[in-house]
């Protein structure tokens, strides 16, 4: 046996072995203590004490105290565990009693259901919506609001930028795709874009002599970089000439999801593409990009190899990229449903493999908290703590699901982004535009596409949620919600300009429960927003922007037009005229002698209210 083969055999035998001290968040943890319930209108609110090392928590429910206790499925279609309390169970019937237990969540899944269960019984709605209060302290020193929502966004493969054929509804796909990237750049502040298919055949080919031809990539990247955005270079799919099984493909565009025939050739491809990008666009520029190794290898459709083979794929790619320029940031596993993060970190620790960030995906829920694992990795290795990048996230993983066009998804986006502020470095919405062809091109204007923007670049309610988040001015100040459904259904964020002239308060009402996709009157609330710390006896102009079923909802406009699959010229004109966020007429309110001002707003579920107080 040669020395090289002996080394490979040793590697393969060691790859699955756990370390003596597993990373935090990769082994079972006890159930949380202090579980309590609160009966609310149309829901049961649950709260508990956090468990050190937990990535999240899985709520279980039973109809009797003796069980059986089953995980509570809010119909999000992906990971059911939530990152933190409180949790609102709105999958309920008023007056019916339920019993609850909560398990801690780690890489192993849900831990034991220890401890005493608690009972909850949702209340029926009254003649008026239940009340909540939002208390804002404008006297507090503002702190930075981490821009996790616009560091990165997803988009379909960049080669759409050079399409020269008619698209869905007769669209000019290349132009609309580029325009969509410009819209999210200018209106949401997006800085980087992740897209599949760096090694698709229109970008990379292999010449007869075995060398790589990147001329197709040059055309695509030239067009992309002209938008002023930076790419997240997803190292996938496998070129046919390198693939062990070139017929193992996915999606309409047939990305090859095969292991390589030669690991050395895979490493050469990753090294040479890095060299080429640096030579074409500048070493210092490319050093500011992220390189992510593959996409969702934990799903069979995306990878026909094993987890151990993915680790080899990652290690080979990471070492190749770093051999060219150690400044380039490399990470993975880009996994579905928050899987394989801990095992990849364990592999990198055991084998001294470079990893600058961990990446994973989830849908239909707020992202889990992977800080226990990244911190444990840094403590064990003495290396910097890897960043946490959720490189795909959204309201549903299901293609052509009407929730994607709905108002329901707008407060969902704000809930996820607020949760991510303290636990992640980027939460990238998947995707920017409905120009997307994984399972076929859009069959009509509103088809439940993943995009924040429709074909034709109309702004969906989810877009307006991120827009309002991006419009918050100044630094974050304390905002707390109290009342019926506080901090579980109704949440808030507030900011203040440095000179105190402007205070923004963003409030929303939403649930993870997708059985309430069309709204729920029982979950509607009346909100009193009280802001203290203003200039005493000063006048403030109060403007309110709304997102709900009848405001800032372009799908409702289209439904009211009784259109067909695609608008005609006149209908496009009407839709573009309506493509704006709704704003009430401003009013003027005077702060009290104690510098406190109160404003009342209705807050339906689903709904968002953005208040701006500007000193006169």
487 and 390 belong to one structural domain:
no
443 and 479 belong to one structural domain:
no
Residue range of the domain that includes 260 = 152-471
Render the burial of 201-229: b for 16+ CB within 10 Å, e for the rest: bbbbbbeeeeebebebbeebbebbeebeb
What contacts 43, CB < 8 A, 6 or more positions away?
88, 89, 90, 92, 122, 485, 488, 489, 511, 523
How does DSSP classify residue 124?
A: P
Give pLDDT tens digits for 348-401: 999 999 999 999 999 999 999 999 999 999 999 999 999 999 999 999 999 999
179 and 305 belong to one structural domain:
yes
Query: What is the distance of C-alpha 536 from the center of its chain?
Result: 41
pLDDT at 18: 42
290 and 413 belong to one structural domain:
yes
CATH number of the domain enclosing 590: 2.60.40.1500
pLDDT at 6: 41
395 inside domain:
yes
Instruction: Tell which phi-psi region holds residue 463, choosing left (phi > 0), alpha (psi between -120 and 50) or beta.
Output: alpha
Q: What is the mean pLDDT of residues 464-470?
A: 98
- For residue 425, give Cα distances in angstroms to 54, 227, 371, 616: 18, 23, 11, 37
Q: What's the pLDDT band for 21 if we cut at 50, 70, 90?
A: low
Residue 174 has pLDDT above 90, yes or no: yes
496 and 420 belong to one structural domain:
no
Residue 12 has pLDDT above 50, yes or no: no
7 inside domain:
no
514 inside domain:
yes
Percent of the chain scoring above 90 in pLDDT: 92
Which residue has better confidence, 11 or 75?
75
Count CB neighbours of 9 within 10 A. Answer: 11
How does DSSP classify residue 299?
A: S
pLDDT at 422: 93
Q: Are 356 and 331 in contact (CB under 8 A)?
A: yes
115 and 231 belong to one structural domain:
no
Give pLDDT tens digits for 23-48: 888 888 999 999 999 999 999 999 99
pLDDT at 26: 82
592 inside domain:
yes
Write down the pTM of the prediction.
Answer: 0.94
How does DSSP classify residue 253?
A: T
Strand pairing of 230-235 and 249-250? unpaired
Among 455, 471, 487, the domain boundary falls at 471
20 inside domain:
no
Q: What is the mean pLDDT of residues 319-327?
A: 98
Residue 4 has pLDDT above 70, yes or no: no
- For residue 442, give Cα distances in angstroms to 173, 314, 454, 460: 12, 34, 10, 15
Count CB neighbours of 382 within 10 A. Answer: 6
Helix (H/G/I), strand (E/B), else coil: 565: coil
477 and 463 belong to one structural domain:
no
Whose CA is closest to 152, among 353, 361, 302?
A: 361
How does DSSP classify residue 41?
A: B
pLDDT at 13: 40
CATH number of the domain enclosing 403: 3.20.20.80
Among 444, 471, 498, the domain boundary falls at 471
On the CB side of 383, how many CA atoms lie within 13 Å of its CA? 14
420 inside domain:
yes
Give pLDDT tens digits for 420-459: 999 999 999 999 999 999 888 999 999 999 999 999 999 9
Q: In residues, how long is the chain? A: 616
Instruction: Tell which phi-psi region holds residue 86, choosing left (phi > 0), alpha (psi between -120 and 50) or beta.
Output: beta
pLDDT at 19: 39
d(CA 40, CA 509): 14
d(CA 160, CA 168): 13
Q: What's the pLDDT band for 506 if we cut at 50, 70, 90?
A: very high
Instruction: Give how many domains the chain has, as a whole number.
Output: 3
Among 471, 494, 516, the domain boundary falls at 471
Give pLDDT tens digits for 534-565: 999 999 999 999 999 999 999 999 999 988 89
The structure tokens listed for 50 are 């956090």
Residue 10 has pLDDT above 60, yes or no: no
Give me the chain's average pLDDT, please: 94
555 inside domain:
yes
CATH number of the domain enclosing 73: 2.60.40.10
Helix (H/G/I), strand (E/B), else coil: 420: helix
On the CB side of 193, how many CA atoms lie within 13 Å of its CA? 28
424 and 489 belong to one structural domain:
no
Residue 16 has pLDDT above 80, yes or no: no
Give pLDDT tens digits for 117-164: 999 999 999 999 999 999 999 999 999 999 999 999 999 999 999 998
3 inside domain:
no
Catalytic positions: 296, 392
Residue 542, classified by CB atoms within 10 Å of its CB into exposed (0-12), middle (13-18) or buried (19+), is: buried
d(CA 251, CA 114): 43
227 and 114 belong to one structural domain:
no
Give pLDDT tens digits for 181-240: 999 999 999 999 999 999 999 999 999 999 999 999 999 999 999 999 999 999 999 999
What contacts 378, CB < 8 A, 6 or more positions away?
384, 385, 386
pLDDT at 8: 38
Evaluated on CA atoms 456, 252, 164, 195, the torsion sign reads positive
Count CB neighbours of 552 within 10 A. Answer: 28
449 and 488 belong to one structural domain:
no
465 and 482 belong to one structural domain:
no
Alpha helices by DSSP H, listed for 189-262, are 215-225
203 and 229 belong to one structural domain:
yes
The structure tokens listed for 37 are 């319930």
């Amino acid at each position: 046996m040669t020395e090289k083969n002996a080394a490979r055999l040793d590697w393969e035998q060691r790859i699955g072995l756990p370390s003596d001290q597993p990373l935090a968040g990769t082994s079972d943890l006890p159930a949380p203590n202090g579980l309590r319930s609160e009966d609310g209108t149309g829901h049961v609110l649950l709260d508990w004490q956090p468990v050190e090392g937990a990535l999240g928590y899985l709520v279980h429910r039973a109809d009797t105290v003796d069980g059986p206790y089953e995980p509570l499925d809010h119909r999000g279609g992906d990971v059911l565990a939530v990152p933190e309390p409180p949790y609102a169970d709105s999958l309920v019937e008023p007056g019916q009693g339920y019993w609850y237990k909560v398990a801690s969540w780690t890489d192993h899944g849900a831990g034991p259901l220890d401890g005493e269960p608690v009972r909850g019984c949702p209340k029926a709605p009254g003649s008026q919506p239940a009340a909540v209060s939002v208390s804002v302290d404008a006297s507090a020193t503002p702190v930075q609001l981490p821009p996790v929502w616009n560091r990165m966004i997803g988009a379909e493969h960049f080669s759409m930028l050079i399409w020269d054929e008619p698209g869905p509804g007769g669209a000019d796909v290349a132009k609309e795709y580029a325009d969509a990237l410009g819209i999210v750049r200018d209106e949401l502040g997006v800085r980087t874009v992740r897209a599949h298919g760096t090694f698709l055949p229109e970008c990379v080919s292999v010449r007869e002599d075995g060398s790589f031809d990147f001329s197709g990539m040059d055309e695509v990247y030239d067009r992309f970089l002209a938008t002023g955005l930076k790419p997240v270079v997803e190292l996938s799919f496998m070129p046919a000439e390198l693939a062990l099984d070139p017929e193992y493909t996915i999606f309409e565009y047939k990305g090859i999801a095969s292991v390589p025939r030669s690991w050395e050739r895979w490493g050469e491809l990753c090294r040479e593409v890095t060299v080429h990008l640096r030579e074409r666009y500048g070493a210092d520029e490319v050093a500011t990009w992220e390189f992510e190794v593959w996409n969702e290898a934990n799903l069979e459709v995306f990878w026909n190899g094993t987890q151990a083979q993915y680790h080899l794929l990652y290690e080979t790619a990471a070492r190749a990229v770093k051999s060219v320029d150690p400044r380039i940031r490399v990470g993975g596993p880009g996994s579905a449903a928050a899987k394989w993060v801990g095992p990849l970190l364990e592999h990198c620790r055991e084998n001294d493999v470079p990893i600058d960030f961990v990446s994973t995906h989830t849908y239909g829920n707020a992202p889990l908290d992977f800080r226990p694992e990244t911190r444990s990795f840094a403590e064990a290795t003495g290396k910097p703590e890897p960043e946490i990048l959720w490189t795909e996230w959204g309201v549903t993983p299901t293609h052509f699901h009407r929730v994607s066009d709905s108002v329901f998804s707008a407060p969902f986006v704000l809930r996820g982004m607020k949760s991510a502020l303290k636990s992640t470095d980027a939460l990238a919405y998947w995707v920017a535009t409905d120009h997307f062809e994984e399972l076929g091109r859009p069959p009509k204007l509103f088809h439940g596409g993943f995009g924040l923007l429709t074909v034709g670049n109309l702004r969906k309610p989810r877009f307006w949620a991120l827009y309002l988040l991006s419009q918050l001015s100044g630094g974050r100040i304390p905002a707390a919600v109290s009342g019926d459904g506080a901090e579980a259904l109704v949440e808030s964020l507030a900011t203040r300009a440095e000179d105190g002239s402007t205070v923004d308060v963003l409030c929303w009402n939403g649930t993870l429960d997708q059985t309430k996709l069309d709204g729920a009157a029982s979950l509607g609330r009346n909100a009193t927003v009280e802001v203290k710390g203003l200039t005493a006896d000063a006048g403030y102009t109060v403007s309110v922007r709304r997102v709900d079923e009848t405001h800032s909802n372009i799908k409702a406009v289209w439904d009211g037009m009784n259109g067909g699959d695609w608008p005609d010229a006149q209908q496009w004109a009407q839709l573009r005229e309506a493509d704006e966020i709704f704003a009430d007429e401003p009013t003027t309110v005077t702060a009290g002698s104690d510098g406190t001002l109160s404003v009342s707003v209705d807050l339906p579920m689903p709904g968002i209210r953005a208040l701006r107080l500007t000193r006169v």
